[in-house]
Structure 1
Amino acid sequence: MTLEGQINRYLESIPEPKQTDMRRLHGAILEMNPGCKLWFLDGKDETGKVVSNPNIGYGTLIKKYAGGKIKEFYQAGISANSTGLSVYIMGIDDKKYLQERYARTIGKASITGYCIKFKALKDIDLAILKAAIKDCMEQTRA
């Protein structure tokens, strides 16, 4: 199955109203980053064990580890979870950046060092979320 097919199957598997919110987020991120690399992680490890929720990733982040190992991953990702939606913003070294810059204005969301979690799009300011994604993707562009 193609990558787009996997993403569409994942989106179709999400119950409403989360599915509509995920589709809106997916479209918004693609609109902000036309032609970016797409990723789909099904949430399973190499043995087939479920270790996370499936997620869709956008862009390319090159992470260099202390031992010299280099890993390619996505810059931003989205996922549906049991309580709502998560937006992952990877590669920001300052783990307080998202919280300090966006927590006061985004609405009803919890923000960690790399994740913005909320129940539904109606609970947050989508323009602020898009600004956070754009800001961080620009900071980590490969």
Structure 2
Amino acid sequence: MDLNTQIKDFIESQPQSKRRDVEILHTEIQKLLSGAKLWFFDGKDENAKIVANPQIGYGTQTMTYADGKQKEFYQIGLSTNTTGISVYIMGLEDKNYLPNVYGNLIGKAKVTGYCIKFKTLKDINKDVLMKAISLGMTGTDSR
């Protein structure tokens, strides 16, 4: 199955209450990060074991593990969970930056060192979210 079909199927599999928000975010992230590499992670490891919720990814970075091995991975991730939507902003060196800068500005969301989690788009300031996503692309290998 090709990448765009996987993403389309993922979005269409969401409950109607989340589907529209995910469609909006996917479209707006693609506009914001025009030309960024697009990914789809089905949430399974190399042994087909479920290790995470499926995610749409944007951009690229090189992750280096403790053992020195490297892996290309996306910089921004968009996922759903039982309570809402999560946007992952990977690779920020300062794990306090997102919560300190955006935590009080974004609205009704839980902001951690690399994740912004919210129930619906109407609960947050979407412009603030897009600024955080844009920041997350700084320092990627390519857009």
Q: TM-score, normalised by structure 2?
A: 0.94
Identity across the alignment (%): 54
Query: In structure 1, what is the equivalent of residue 102 of structure 2?
Result: 102
TM alignment of 1:34-45, pairs within 5 A: 34-45=34-45
Instruction: Tell me which amino acid in the other structure corresponds to 1:12.
Output: E
Query: In structure 1, what is the equivalent of residue 47 of structure 2?
Result: 47
Cα distance in 2, alignment partners of residues 63 and 48 from structure 1: 21
Query: In structure 2, what is the equivalent of residue 7 of structure 1?
Result: 7
- Pair 1:22-2:22 in alignment: yes
Given the superposition, is the C-alpha separation of residues 69 and 49 from structure 1 closer, same or farther in structure 2, using an over 3 Å criterion? closer
- Pair 1:136-2:128 in alignment: no
After the TM superposition, which of the residue ranges 11-20 and 38-47 deviates more from structure 2?
38-47
**Matched residue SS, 2:104:** helix
Cα distance in 2, alignment partners of residues 137 and 129 from structure 1: 13
Deviation at 1:63, TM superposition (A): 2.0
CA RMSD of aligned residues (A): 1.1
Q: Deviations over 1:59-98 (max 9, x none)?
A: 0011234543221110101001000000000000111010
Deviation at 1:16, TM superposition (A): 1.1
**Matched residue SS, 2:68:** coil
**Matched residue SS, 1:86:** strand
Instruction: Tell me which amino acid in the other structure corresponds to 2:124.
Output: I
Cα distance in 2, alignment partners of residues 5 and 78 from structure 1: 16
Given the superposition, is the C-alpha separation of residues 68 and 52 from structure 1 closer, same or farther in structure 2, using an over 3 Å criterion? closer
After the TM superposition, which of the residue ranges 2-11 and 56-65 deviates more from structure 2?
56-65
**Matched residue SS, 2:93:** coil
Q: Deviations over 1:33-70 (max 9, x none)?
A: 11211110111122222221100000001123454322
Cα distance in 2, alignment partners of residues 20 and 110 from structure 1: 21
Structure 1's unaligned 5+ residue stretches are none
**Matched residue SS, 1:7:** helix
- Pair 1:70-2:97 in alignment: no
